[in-house]
Amino acid sequence: MSLLDAPVYDPVKERRRKIKIAIIITVALVLGALIYLNRYYPEKRIVDRFFTALEKQDYKTAYGIWMHDPNWEQHPERYARYPYNEFHTDWGPGGEWGLVHNHKILAMLHPRGGSGVVAIVEVNGRTEYARVWVETSDKTLSFSPY
């Protein structure tokens, strides 16, 4: 075969190649969009579990989620900085949000230079939103500094 003996152009083969390339690009874009939209899924799930426990008035479970330690009752001295009674005062029936009947996570934001994510949550349909900080490294919750 020499340079002058080029293969015959096959439009069907070329069309299949273009379709394969288009499918690969489309799948990559869709996967990229899904990954981007769900980048804070673990943190969102933790915040959802926390507010669901508050809705059930299971404050001990909610405190365990807040501290990311379901066995916190075995060693409460580790959490002297924010003990359970203060947590119950803040999030219990007499707290700022009262009894939590429903919640909706509106947004998850990662502030520039921050080490965690701020969850903006609508509680009981109020226009003032709860802002909860989720530390990315250890999944503990706290009040948002932002």
pLDDT digits over 118-137, tens only? 999 999 888 999 999 999 98
pLDDT at residue 56 greater than cutoff 80: yes
In the predicted model, is pLDDT for residue 94 greater than 70?
Answer: yes
Work out how many domains the chain is built from and give that number: 1
Three-state DSSP class for 109?
strand
Q: What is the CATH number of the domain that holds 75?
A: 3.10.450
- Binned at pLDDT 50, 70 and 90, residue 20 comes out as very high
Is 17 within the bounds of a domain? no
For residue 92, the enclosing domain spans 41-143
- Please state the pTM of the whole predicted model: 0.82
User: Could you tell me how far CA 113 lies from the centroid of its own chain?
Assistant: 18
Q: Is residue 100 part of a domain?
A: yes
Contacts of 31 (CB under 8 A, 6+ apart): none
Residue 16 covered by a domain:
no
8 pLDDT higher than 70: yes
